[in-house]
Amino acid sequence: MGATAFIIVGSRPGWGYGLPNPGYVLILYENDAPSWELRPLYPEIEDENVVWISSIEHMLEDALVMIGIYVVGDKELRRKAEKIFGNLYKEITIGSRRDVEELRKLSKEVLQRYNIGLVVVPLKDSTIMDQLSVLDEYGDLWVSLNPPEKVLGERDEW
């Protein structure tokens, strides 16, 4: 299916419009198995691209766990993730692992503490369209949700 959703991570907006200091993008690929790829947007950010093979049921939450581990670098979340996965810079497969639920629960608490903002852009056929309500469980996390309102077909429809 290819890329079906994007999450841009930047600073929490103070006043005005826009997402200040976007630094990372997560891209959801839904092929044989859903995977999130986290990419830094600038070469000055010397982080590596990271890929997680996500669970189907918790795709959006798995992306939020990745943000807690790799973008904000929360120490408690990283420590628990290293205990579960070992090396965090290899391809990680979530699948139906139950121990990841602890990371999801912790990320709901942790992400609210950081000065981050997210722009979530699911495309029309993205599975996360059915998972967007989970964002309500993240309390004070700043999120701009941009679901597709209309899908343009031919250029003459523009």
Q: Write out pLDDT tens, residues 109-137.
A: 999 999 999 999 999 889 999 999 999 99
Q: What is the pTM of this model?
A: 0.89
Q: What is the pLDDT of residue 21?
A: 84
Q: How many domains does the chain have?
A: 1
Q: What is the pLDDT of residue 153?
A: 60
Q: Would you say 122 and 4 are in contact if contact means Cβ atoms under 8 Å apart? A: yes
**Rounded alpha-carbon distances, angstroms, from residue 131 to 59, 122, 126, 136:** 8, 10, 10, 10
Q: Does the structure show a pLDDT above 60 at 152?
A: no
Q: Does the structure show a pLDDT above 60 at 157?
A: no
**Assigned token pair, 20:** 């200040």
**Residue range(s) defining the domain that contains residue 16:** 3-157
